[in-house]
Amino acid sequence: MKLQAHIKLLLRWCVLLGMGCQSVAAATPVIEIEIRDHLFFPSEVDVPANTKVKLLIINRDPTPEEFESYPLNREKVISGNSKAVIFIGPVKAGDYPFIGEFYPTTAQGVIRVR
Amino acid sequence: MKLKILNYTLSLMAILCTIQESYAGSVIDKIYHPYVNPLEQEVEWRGIFQDHQPLTPDNVQLHRFAYGRALSDRVFTEVYLVAHKASNHSLEIQAYELEFVWQLTEPGEFWADWGMLFEVEKEANLDKWEFTTGVLMEKERGQWSGTANLFLLNKWGSDSTDSFESRLSLQARYRYSRGFEPAVEFYSGQDTLGLGPACKGQIKLDGNKKFNWEAGLIFGLDSSSPNRTLRFLLDLEF
């Protein structure tokens, strides 16, 4: 099969997935979460349902941490004393737990979508 | 800027589409996701077992052994040793590969997540080279993830016929649980048109270590395709 056919197939695949490329960063609400002493602050975050949200994770610890949430399909390593951005949603109402994978016994939190 | 790079790449591929393809290779392989995790390292073993590959000996095996690590927040590199085994032959080193995956967008930032892949391969003991450029796309819809890989391969060397080849692989995956995610995969490329079920999963180990596995059984959709291809992947992230 030639490249032209592959590109057509790819475009059909994109249409099937609901293609509509748009940047949402400018209008997206930003919520800050800090990591201090291997804990998340705040550890509970309220988010409106069906809304895309930008989490700004600020790691105040000198050690790296990995934000991970299987229900939200997100994982991201944040180096020590640095920041990272994680986009979540839009998702349905419910509780979506997350952990800091490097210190999972202490670094725990939940995104409450209402 | 990121979208311009993507548009440029797709335009370049469209221009090259008039060039004839003339090379056969392993089209069925891992499907790449456009994500890089900083500080991550991994060791990987993936392989295929192919039954009935026209024009080549039956029951072909291809194994890739790799070590990879993130170079930055957005770039992951992997070095491969590729081994091949045909019927009535022993496993032989076939090629060496160096690969880079470049994450272009943050997950969820745009309509879909985008990345690129660059790979150079040199066949062992032969002047036979291959350079691959690929566009990686993933779109999340609820618990479903749709992934596409579009690759353009350029081959050259005194032991090779200079040629271009394109490959497309698609995957629809249901995120049922961390340990088990069923999927359907489609592959299209030189002498291969295949479709079949696949699955993947992850087992968390001590600390930040994770064991990932994938398996798939791909059936040929036309007479020139391999009848059946079993693919697998095992990797340890740390």
Give the residue numbers spanning the domain of A69: 27-113
pLDDT score recorded for residue A22:
53
H-type helices in chain A, by residue range? 3-16
- Structural domain tally of chain A? 1
Q: Chain B partners of A24 at a C-beta cutoff of 8 Å? A: 109-110
In what helix (H) or strand (E) does residue B237 lie, and over which residues does it extend? strand B228-237
Contacts of B18 (CB under 8 A, 6+ apart): none
Q: How far from the centroid of its chain's Cα atoms is residue B89's Cα?
A: 25
Is A18 inside a domain boundary? Answer: no
As a whole number, the mean pLDDT across chain A is 88
Is A105 inside a domain boundary? Answer: yes
Rounded-to-integer distance, Cα A93 and Cα A112, Å = 8
* Number of CB atoms found within 10 A of residue A33's CB: 19
Nearest to B132 by CA among B219, B9, B7: B9
Mark yes or no for CB contact B107/A73 under 8 Å.
yes
SS3 category, B5: helix
Mark yes or no for CB contact A3/B10 under 8 Å.
no
Domains of chain B and CATH, by start:
2-22+33-237 (2.40.160.40)
> Would an 8 Å CB–CB cutoff place A2 in contact with chain B?
yes
pLDDT tens for each residue of A10-29: 888 887 777 654 544 457 88
SS3 category, A10: helix
Nearest to A74 among B3, B107, B208 (CB): B107
Is A60 inside a domain boundary? Answer: yes
Mark yes or no for CB contact B112/A25 under 8 Å.
no
Q: Which of B111, B149, B188, B195 to mutate to test the interface with A (most CBs of A within 10 A)?
A: B111
Mark yes or no for CB contact A20/B111 under 8 Å.
yes
* ipTM score of complex: 0.83
The torsion defined by the Cα of B64, B118, B172 and B112, in degrees rounded to 10, comes to 150
Q: Chain A partners of B16 at a C-beta cutoff of 8 Å? A: 3
Is A101 inside a domain boundary? Answer: yes
Nearest to A3 among B16, B141, B148 (CB): B16
Q: Chain B partners of A84 at a C-beta cutoff of 8 Å? A: 73
Q: Chain B partners of A101 at a C-beta cutoff of 8 Å? A: 208
Half-sphere exposure of residue A56: CA atoms within 13 angstroms, side-chain side: 8
pLDDT score recorded for residue A20:
59
pLDDT score recorded for residue B144:
93
Structure tokens at B213: 């596995």
> Would an 8 Å CB–CB cutoff place A26 in contact with chain B?
no
Is A89 inside a domain boundary? Answer: yes
Determine the residue of chain A that is closest to B208 in CA distance: A102
Q: How far does A84 lie from chain B, in Å, by closest CA? A: 10
Mark yes or no for CB contact A76/B37 under 8 Å.
yes
pLDDT score recorded for residue B17:
39
What is the longest distance spanned by two Cα atoms in chain A? 55
SS3 category, B14: helix
Sheet holding A108-113, edge to edge: A44-47, A108-113, A94-100, A65-69, A74-78
The CATH number assigned to the domain holding A61 equals 2.60.40.420
- Using the Cα atoms of residue B1, residue B172, residue B230 and residue B199 in order, give the sign of their dihedral: positive
pLDDT score recorded for residue B161:
81
Q: How far does A79 lie from chain B, in Å, by closest CA? A: 8
pLDDT values of chain B reduced to their tens digit, one per residue, 238 residues = 555 555 544 544 443 333 333 333 478 999 999 999 988 999 999 999 988 765 656 788 899 999 999 999 999 999 999 999 887 788 889 999 999 999 999 999 898 999 999 999 999 988 999 999 999 999 998 899 999 999 999 999 888 887 889 999 999 999 999 999 999 999 999 888 999 999 999 999 987 889 999 999 999 998 888 889 999 999 999 9
